[in-house]
Structure 1
Amino acid sequence: MSPPGTTPSLGQPMDRVDGLLKVTGQARYAGEYQELGLLYASVVSSTIASGRIVSIDTSAAMQVPGVVAVLDHTNRPHIASYDEDYTDADSAEGSPFRPFYNDRVLYSGQPLALVVADTLELARYAGSLVRIEYQVDGHETNLTAVKETAHTAPAETPKPRGDFQAGFASAAVTMDAHYTTPNEHHNPMEPHASTVLYRDDDCLEIHDKTQGPQNCQDYLHKVFGLGKDKIRIFAAFVGGAFGSGLRPQYQLPLAVMAALHLKRSVRVTLTRQQMFTFGYRPNTLQRLRLGASADGKLVAVGHDVIGQTSRFEDFTEHVVEWSGMLYQCDNVQLTYKLAPLDVYTPLDMRAPGAASGMIGLECAMDELACAAGIDPVQLRVVNFAERNGNEDKPYSSKELRACYEQGAERFGWSKRNPEPRSMREGRQLVGWGMAGGVWEAMQMKASAKASIDSDGKLTVSSATTDIGTGTYTVMTQIAAEAAGVMPQNVTFVLGDSSLPTAPLQGGSFTVSSVGTAVQQACHALRAKLLDAVRMANPQYAVVDIKDVGFGDGYLHIDDQRFSYADIVRDSSHDVLDVQIDCEPDEKREGYATATHSAVFVEVRVDEDLGSVQVNRVVSAVAAGRVVNPKMARSQILGGVVWGISQALQEESQTDHNLGRVMNHSLAEYHIPVNADIGDIDVVFVEENDSIVNDLGSKGVGEIGIVGVAAAIANAIFHATGKRVREFPITLDKVL
């Protein structure tokens, strides 16, 4: 029951509550916290891909005035855990990378020394004077060269179902093609940095670029043997991450190492070039085999993938699973193998696995549509899956048909001439392509605390982060509606390891997980407010909460209303507060949960130059309840831009002779600029889901990128008649 005049917050396009701080420069990031006497450290990186350190000569560096110390594997402080295995919340299977562990060089760009000085400029200059002599071993960084030796990944791939070989052999229409996707590096605007503020008795206050402050706290606790009460991690603002902050990166243990060694506060900031010396989206080699009946019904789906990993860890992601769940098929065979290389371990990157694997699947579906003479949208509708075949479970909700329908209508798909090279404007060939998208709708355990003071101000907290997604804002909206207060009277606190437990921010599950915890905490706070009213007003001692209204900062019973501020003041407490621990509801267990999308793209291809321009995109998304359509649209826009980048430009290019990324700067690592982006239209398809979580929200952070690159590739084929299966699709490949 809501009283008249209550303004619901959910579903409203509210502006960012942190927007003013960001645009006025008041938001401070990990590398911006100052302290008197703060030292600055610069990382010296390896120049070889494999071998041993014979000697490190730091004498010239130490003679530079203002240099305080140079640390390396020979003089670092003793770290007991380096003799044991330790993990973090996003660790891969194997032995994690230990900076300064021993004399082994495992990959090019590995941190080998840390120069600590009074200023960053001095530290970097002194770092250039460190001389390292190596014993160089042979290395291999080319996935294609070692694909035959790949081993089955330790991650559990869905078991085969039916008889793929027989289904494929008997199919009326078949396609068998290979696709490759490159390595990509995250390159968020804010580089990775850690500012370790040293306090007495080895207590550390650390500002870190991370997607999980409690994960970093747990990691440092395990590595350095410090009590968790001595480590507090802050991440109030994060300038983009895309997965790069899921694991603690090496600047964090190096900064802590230096701070503990010197008993001083230390900052380590990685250069843009060093942002290419840790995790990335891994290269994949994919083979897709699809078989269908004459009317387009799939009778066989085979998806085989080889991905790369490091020699010390097996990094796995869900690359092939989507091919077993997006479409209805009884004969499915999925394989996923890994090839170890002399590289750093890959890392989750926006829509990990799906962004790569769906390129193969959705390009193959387009090729099958052409072979069968069926419209690409119709082929997908014909093969619509009511259940997730991998789990054999029905979906909690799935408005994918509506995505196809509404996206196609908005785009004008019915006007498409299916014949390749049939549409043009002058020297520009025009192509229309489409693809589907899917991402799992997950929920994790999370906790939240809600408190209200005698001014009626609500404070809600949880140890999550905001990596630019709008967490501050949507949690404010969820709390405002759940507690019955105006959004301007809500403060949401995050980015602090001492707050109630929260999962890593990733996987599009923050709203589902933390948001549900916030909602439940605010509902519990309402019950506490009612209890206070019952105590003070005996006539309402037995009133049922279902008969009470909460809104605009007031509790309503019959024709009486009590302001929250008055209730707190009359309760003889400074604040009323409550903390709850929230777990996914058991009712989820009988269902598969996922977000879906349909992406429609128009490209213009210059017939003489082979250059491709994405002229317009329509992305129709079914993601359950959209808490803030403005933030959600922003997320989809960002995902589409990245999909354009993935299709046409983005690639970390390795010189395999050196085993080193060559284009390790934003000048040479090509990503789109404003001039590359045409019109992007986002359609949120209505989808009601009471099973996925109490909010009915599925998350939108990942789904925006999924399917975009495939839709562009399919549009390029429609424009030119040429299939390019090696990504990115650069003009030399089109020509």
Structure 2
Amino acid sequence: MSASPRIGDPVNRVDGEAKVTGSARYAADHFPPGLLYGWIVGSPLARGRVTGIDEAAARAVPGVVEVISHRNRRQLPRCDRSYEDEAAASGSPFRPLYDDEVLFSGQPVALVVAQTLEAARDAASLLQVGYESASHDTDFERAMAEPFPPKSPREVEPGPRHRGNPDQALAHSPVRHAATYRHPAQHHNPMEMHAATVVWEPGDRLTVYDKTQGTQNVQSYLARIFGLDEDDVRVRSEFVGGAFGSGLRPQYHVFLAALAAIMLQRSVRVGMTRQQMFTHVYRPPAVQSVALGAGADGSLNAIINDATHTTSRFERYTQTIVDWALMHYKCPNARGTYRLASVDTCTPGDMRAPGAATGVNLFEIAMDELAYAAKVDPVHLRRVNHTDKDAMHGRPFTSKALREALQAGAERFGWAARSAPPRSMREGTELVGWGMATGVWEAPFEQTAARARLAADGTLEVACAMTDIGTGTATVMAQVAGDTLGVPLDRIRVRLGDSDLPEAPVEGGSCGAASAGAAVHLACLTVGAQLHQVAAGMAPSPIGDAAFDDVVFGAGHMMVGTGPARRVSLVDLVRASGREWIEAEQVARPDPGESADKGSKAKNTHSAVFVEVRIDEELPIVRVTRVVIAVAAGRIINPKTARSQVIGGAVMAIGMALHEETVMDHRFGRFMTHNFADYHIPVNADIPEIDVIFVNEPDADVSPLGVKGVGEIGVVGTAAAVVNAIYHATGRRVRSLPVTVDKLI
């Protein structure tokens, strides 16, 4: 029998073959009998109301079954809370097709359902919708200047974000820097667009294949809205083609598909087009003003960090933006202020490393400017301001190997050879720039359940409702199970992404490996304890009087010591139990009060990023030519999949720094860059080899397996390192992302 996988082995993805061969089925890959197709009709207005809908031409298209709008839809609950979900922002959630009010451009106002997708699309183009427009405002800069409504203040309470006297300390600091930095709106562009296939069965029993990061979240959302028992709604999402936060909340496509299926008592699929992907959640634009005061050696005396970003008028979406700088650096005097500005768009949402991708990247550009103002090396600046505790709350970190990450990254990159003055390094006609930054992100651990079932044929099934959004959760579950019970990888079956399975939170915030891994480990340990009882009761016992703590599992056996005499196969143990299988379900829970943002210790991952850029002196097109990221993220279960996650985050950060920007036409309140021709994302030619280093960081406090997630840390700090390298190459400081050619001319 082949060897069992161990935690720390770089094993291949267990779902890799299914994905590359095309056998993996995503939300829009299911074809139940009699399937109907829905096509969404969106509003061209940013604000107003629907005055009438002429359906005649649309209904005349052969194959059209129904046109659904607020005028004829099923009766729905009036209570806002019915539409809330696990990841909802405060306020009044959007209710699709609820009434005639238009709240944002692209809002669905009708759904055309037909026997073919082509017929639905054709009929949708013929639907005549009348509108009455109302004044709208989508201008972020103007919204920031508006007075806050007195009855619904948009200023977020600062909490513990003030220490010392930062204004006085800034005024007396020998080295000072102050500037304002801007980040544009950015939209999720995963390979798989949002879609849902709803299979209807008599009695309004629904099986929903949805692109989501939380099957049980969608299950409870649909059950509440449509007045169904949760047991009558099964949500499945075994494969997700990327999500990055766009699938945290149930999007309007799944509501529309379920509504149509219940109304027509037929199975219905509704999917978004690439253009419609720009009519829902996005990373909000932000403005961040930073003022820093330091001593001659760069040691911080004062931090003032103020940030504002947008939210919709109907929900109050917030992110943690200003806190990161106040916790990340040692500084006796610090203050942070965070505000929201309401605009007439859909509600923004989480996008990979929400808050930190904005707040840390912009702040790390300011730190680079401080290094030049103080005439100190940027790495030295980070070292001299290092803190061993969360400086905002005064809590020690469970672990923090940032110093080690700085050293490892700098050595691998060759930072010591850097010539400090801007424009001092070149090769031929190209200016060469080296930049760096540090990153910090949460290390969450959420309550999660898992089931392990060892069958008499030696196969081990592990199951959890957690989704795998492309991060490798299924592989982590298999690897932890194999390590715990000594079962070879080819004998392990993973079930996930199904609301019928043991409970799991929404997959987000880099919580999957720590949370699902811990639950699988507990379930497998419980199975192991039952196997030990069976072995101890056999006559004679193959393990003698060995206690459970004295046995080990490997290669499909339970063993005491290393000799052949005191071992027994797991297959023989299950058979000896007289059962078809031995199973256990367990729940992994964080200690009360010990979440990532509360408790006696701070739980975070850290990184040090080093970037090289080359820029033609005459035509300043930026090429990123080298990236080194050193990551301190606790125990790494699988360095191959973890490395892939850090690389993926770094690619998104390069896009943030150089390419991605959602442009709004404020005349119409409409996102204009709504396809890949206009909304630029990095392609293979834009990305160099990215060198990822994992710093050894044992951590017994952060989670039961010592695991910290790595899905988001690759974004945090990397965009800043690119921008800082551009300054080193050109001597031109750009404070508004992305850094495009026009900003360097």
TM tier, shorter chain?
Answer: over 0.9
The aligned counterpart of 2:464 is: 462
The aligned counterpart of 2:131 is: 134
- For 1:556, the aligned partner's letter is M
Identical aligned residues as a percent = 51
Q: Post-superposition shift, 1:586? A: 5.7
1:257, 1:155 → 2: CA distance?
Answer: 39
1:142, 1:136 → 2: CA distance?
Answer: 17
Aligned pairs (5 A) from 1:55-204: 55-82=52-79, 85-149=82-146, 151-154=153-156, 157-204=159-206
| Larger displacement relative to structure 2 (82-91 or 220-229) | 82-91
Match of 1:550, SS? Answer: strand
> C-alpha deviations, 1:180-219, integer Å up to 9, x for none?
0010000100000000000111000110000000000011
> C-alpha deviations, 1:3-26, integer Å up to 9, x for none?
x99655211111111111111110
Q: Post-superposition shift, 1:156? A: 5.7
Match of 1:334, SS? Answer: strand
Identify which of 548, 552, 565 aligns with 1:545: 548
> C-alpha deviations, 1:70-126, integer Å up to 9, x for none?
000111000125565541011001000000111100000000000000000100110
1:66, 1:594 → 2: CA distance?
Answer: 55
2:80, 2:681 → 1: CA distance?
Answer: 41
Identify which of 616, 626, 632 aligns with 1:616: 626
Match of 2:736, SS? Answer: coil
Q: Post-superposition shift, 1:615? A: 1.0
Match of 2:186, SS? Answer: coil
Q: Post-superposition shift, 1:570? A: 1.5
- For 1:28, the aligned partner's letter is R
Match of 2:626, SS? Answer: strand
The aligned counterpart of 1:42 is: 39
1:437, 1:283 → 2: CA distance?
Answer: 20
The aligned counterpart of 1:418 is: 420
2:590, 2:191 → 1: CA distance?
Answer: 33
Match of 1:201, SS? Answer: coil
Label 1:48 to 1:285 Cα distance change in 2 as closer, same or farther (>3 A): same
The aligned counterpart of 1:224 is: 226
2:407, 2:184 → 1: CA distance?
Answer: 32
The aligned counterpart of 1:563 is: 569
1:202, 1:26 → 2: CA distance?
Answer: 29
Identify which of 524, 527, 532 aligns with 2:526: 524
The aligned counterpart of 2:237 is: 235
The aligned counterpart of 2:692 is: 682
Q: Post-superposition shift, 1:590? A: 2.4
> C-alpha deviations, 1:273-312, integer Å up to 9, x for none?
0000000000001100111111211011111001000000
| Larger displacement relative to structure 2 (491-500 or 425-434) | 425-434
Match of 1:325, SS? Answer: helix
Question: What is the number of residues matched between the two proteins?
Answer: 732
- For 1:233, the aligned partner's letter is V
Match of 1:431, SS? Answer: strand
Label 1:378 to 1:170 Cα distance change in 2 as closer, same or farther (>3 A): same
CA contact (8 A) 1:315 1:345 kept: yes
Q: Post-superposition shift, 1:549? A: 2.2
CA contact (8 A) 1:585 1:693 kept: no
Identify which of 7, 18, 32 aligns with 2:15: 18
1:58, 1:587 → 2: CA distance?
Answer: 56
The aligned counterpart of 1:253 is: 255
The aligned counterpart of 2:339 is: 337
> C-alpha deviations, 1:222-254, integer Å up to 9, x for none?
111110011000001000000000000000110
CA contact (8 A) 1:9 1:481 kept: yes
Match of 2:282, SS? Answer: coil
- For 1:573, the aligned partner's letter is R
CA contact (8 A) 2:158 2:338 kept: no
1:8, 1:426 → 2: CA distance?
Answer: 49
The aligned counterpart of 1:302 is: 304
1:549, 1:278 → 2: CA distance?
Answer: 50
- For 1:118, the aligned partner's letter is Q
The aligned counterpart of 2:399 is: 397
Aligned pairs (5 A) from 1:338-377: 338-377=340-379
1:83, 1:644 → 2: CA distance?
Answer: 39
TM-score by length of 2: 0.96
The aligned counterpart of 1:214 is: 216
Label 1:669 to 1:688 Cα distance change in 2 as closer, same or farther (>3 A): same
| Larger displacement relative to structure 2 (73-82 or 700-709) | 73-82
Q: Post-superposition shift, 1:575? A: 0.8
1:314, 1:666 → 2: CA distance?
Answer: 29
Q: Post-superposition shift, 1:560? A: 2.2
Identify which of 638, 643, 648 aligns with 1:628: 638
2:587, 2:692 → 1: CA distance?
Answer: 35
Q: Post-superposition shift, 1:157? A: 4.7
TM-score by length of 1: 0.98
- For 2:690, the aligned partner's letter is I
CA RMSD across the alignment: 1.5
The aligned counterpart of 1:316 is: 318
> C-alpha deviations, 1:28-69, integer Å up to 9, x for none?
000110022100000000001001111111111011110000
The aligned counterpart of 2:647 is: 637
CA contact (8 A) 2:5 2:489 kept: no
1:135, 1:147 → 2: CA distance?
Answer: 27
Label 1:393 to 1:294 Cα distance change in 2 as closer, same or farther (>3 A): same
1:178, 1:384 → 2: CA distance?
Answer: 24
Match of 1:324, SS? Answer: helix
| Larger displacement relative to structure 2 (61-70 or 556-565) | 556-565
1:134, 1:626 → 2: CA distance?
Answer: 55
Label 1:83 to 1:526 Cα distance change in 2 as closer, same or farther (>3 A): closer
Label 1:586 to 1:225 Cα distance change in 2 as closer, same or farther (>3 A): closer
Match of 2:216, SS? Answer: helix
The aligned counterpart of 2:490 is: 488
- For 2:641, the aligned partner's letter is M
Q: Post-superposition shift, 1:346? A: 0.5
Q: Post-superposition shift, 1:561? A: 1.6
The aligned counterpart of 1:705 is: 715
Q: Is structure 2 residue 395 aligned with structure 1 residue 385?
A: no
2:316, 2:342 → 1: CA distance?
Answer: 8
| Larger displacement relative to structure 2 (195-204 or 8-17) | 8-17
2:739, 2:133 → 1: CA distance?
Answer: 36
CA contact (8 A) 2:37 2:116 kept: yes
Label 1:127 to 1:675 Cα distance change in 2 as closer, same or farther (>3 A): same
CA contact (8 A) 2:509 2:712 kept: yes
The aligned counterpart of 1:582 is: 588
Q: Is structure 2 residue 610 aligned with structure 1 residue 600?
A: yes
- For 2:102, the aligned partner's letter is V
- For 2:733, the aligned partner's letter is R
2:605, 2:577 → 1: CA distance?
Answer: 45
Label 1:350 to 1:157 Cα distance change in 2 as closer, same or farther (>3 A): farther
2:433, 2:591 → 1: CA distance?
Answer: 45
- For 2:429, the aligned partner's letter is R
CA contact (8 A) 2:635 2:698 kept: yes
2:655, 2:304 → 1: CA distance?
Answer: 27
CA contact (8 A) 1:157 1:336 kept: no
Label 1:127 to 1:15 Cα distance change in 2 as closer, same or farther (>3 A): same
Match of 2:636, SS? Answer: coil
Q: Post-superposition shift, 1:152? A: 4.0
- Structure 2: state its 5+ residue gaps: none
Identify which of 704, 721, 727 aligns with 2:737: 727
> C-alpha deviations, 1:457-496, integer Å up to 9, x for none?
1101000111111111111101100112112211111010
CA contact (8 A) 2:82 2:225 kept: no
- For 1:551, the aligned partner's letter is G
Aligned pairs (5 A) from 1:276-295: 276-295=278-297
- Structure 1: state its 5+ residue gaps: none
1:345, 1:473 → 2: CA distance?
Answer: 33
